[in-house]
Amino acid sequence: MSRIVFIGAGNVDLTRRVVSDLLLESGLHGELEIVLHDTDPAVLATAEALVRSLDAEAGSAATIIVSLDRRRALDGADFVVSHVDVGGFEATLRDFEIPHRYGLRQTIGDTIGIGGIFRGLRTIPFFVELGRELAELCPQAWLLNCSDPMAMTGWAVQEATGFDRFAGVCHAVCDTHTYLADLVGRGVDEISFLSAGVNHQSFVLRFEAEGRPLYPELDALLAADAELARHVRVEMYRRFGYFPTQSSEHAAEYVPWFLPHAEETTRLGVPVEEYLRRVGQSMHQYEETRRALSAGRSLLVRWQHQEPAAAAILAVLTGQEKEVYVNVRNGGLIGNLPADCCVEVPALVDATGIHPRPVGELPTQLAALNRTFLNVVELTVRAVLDGDRRHVHHAAMLDPNTAATLPLPAIEALCDELIEAHGGLLPEAIRR
């Protein structure tokens, strides 16, 4: 029996999608032990009711265990699927409201930028502690992390704990492949794709069918449709030569050319403070799940494309090879990015585990973009692991959107105000 542990199971939308994929695999009926952990008893109870409902509907005869004790949940795990939001909605709101008063605009705020830096300061310590527990309690388990900021947590876990069976999994690459395939009127399986970079800033390096590139077809479509072309990711594609795998909402805040300029956000339809609306939708989805459970409605998700975390687990358990995009320690997978950073690359997953594929070197301009992104990532990791408050300031000063918007004294004042506002959610050394 395989033990699959969900840390942050109260994120019922993700739990529903991943568990549905697992329970629909008929060859694993009666062979799965699903362990649910969350720190909130109420949301954990909802997650338990959800998973028992999915299990009954799928007829999968899974063993379902619920635990408020994380160490007990992890003991003997084969896979750990994590999705956590340290500080929850109130912390996220501070990450937007305080910068807003300084005139700093954000869209999502979960990866780099001021919001990403402070999410990292809250989240990295959690994952370092989790990595140490995994190394002790289940050293052969795979940690499949679905939490942002993924590039920060992956770097920190492997440096601070030595636990190297970390793989961040994200929708962005496979969603972009599907989007591009739809645009050119082909099935995604008809196209040869290769994408790589860092999480939320990867690029489609190969986009081919029948041995010929499809980028010229994309160019023709964009030239013929002004609305289709009016997006941040298209602006990035036109100037850097490769299509970004991340949505325009995300991509806009990792560079200095969009959010500081109101005319550009208007022209390209950039939804400022979009993440606050998404958090509201997540809260609505949670309540909808509770109502659906009370009404006995079907919640089993039958999608054509599996969740990346589920796809990886199923490939290992069934031995059916699958390509899954993962975020792992670089170690030469991308030759012109730092060895210790966390990169996004394709991996072959089979019965023997997750095997990331070397990509070689990125085009010079893409590596340069990634290195700018990674400056913020590295300094945030160093702030936590070294306990150095100055690196919080350094990360913000080098962040492209923040640096393009605010002078140095305002950046420093903003960081100090956010440190004070988040209080005990941040490491003590940074609060001093």
DSSP state of 269: T
| CB-based contacts of 209, cutoff 8 Å, min separation 6 | 186, 190, 191, 192
Contact 252, 235 (CB under 8 A): no
Alpha-carbon distance 150 to 158, whole Å?
12
Would you call 177 a catalytic residue per the annotation?
A: no
Cα 271 to the chain's mean position, in Å?
Answer: 20
Catalytic residue among 37, 83, 171, 394: 171
Contact 196, 344 (CB under 8 A): yes
Q: Which residue has the tokens 């670089």?
A: 330
Q: Which two tokens stand for residue 370?
A: 């990634």
The three-class DSSP label of residue 359 is coil
Q: Rg of the Cα trace of the chain?
A: 21
**Biggest CA-to-CA distance, the chain:** 61
Q: Which two tokens stand for residue 353?
A: 């585990």
DSSP state of 27: G
391 carries a ligand binding annotation: no
Alpha-carbon distance 207 to 193, whole Å?
5
What residues form DSSP beta bridges with 192? 208
138 carries a ligand binding annotation: no
Alpha-carbon distance 233 to 180, whole Å?
12
Q: Where are the alpha helices (DSSP H) in 83-163?
A: 88-101, 113-137, 150-161
Q: Which two tokens stand for residue 272?
A: 């400022």
End-to-end CA distance of the chain: 47
Closest by Cα among 328, 368, 419, 339 to 121: 419
DSSP 161-224: H----EEE--SHHHHHHHHHHHHTT--GGGSEEEEEEETTEEEEEEEEETTEESHHHHHHHHHH
Find the helix or strand (DSSP H, E) in which 321 lies: none
| CB-based contacts of 300, cutoff 8 Å, min separation 6 | 20, 23, 24, 54, 57, 58
Cα 322 to the chain's mean position, in Å?
Answer: 20
CA 171, 173, 178, 181: dihedral to nearest 10 degrees?
170
Q: Which residues are catalytic?
A: 171
Q: Which residues are annotated as a binding site?
A: 170, 200
Q: Which residues are annotated as a binding site for Mn(2+)?
A: 170, 200
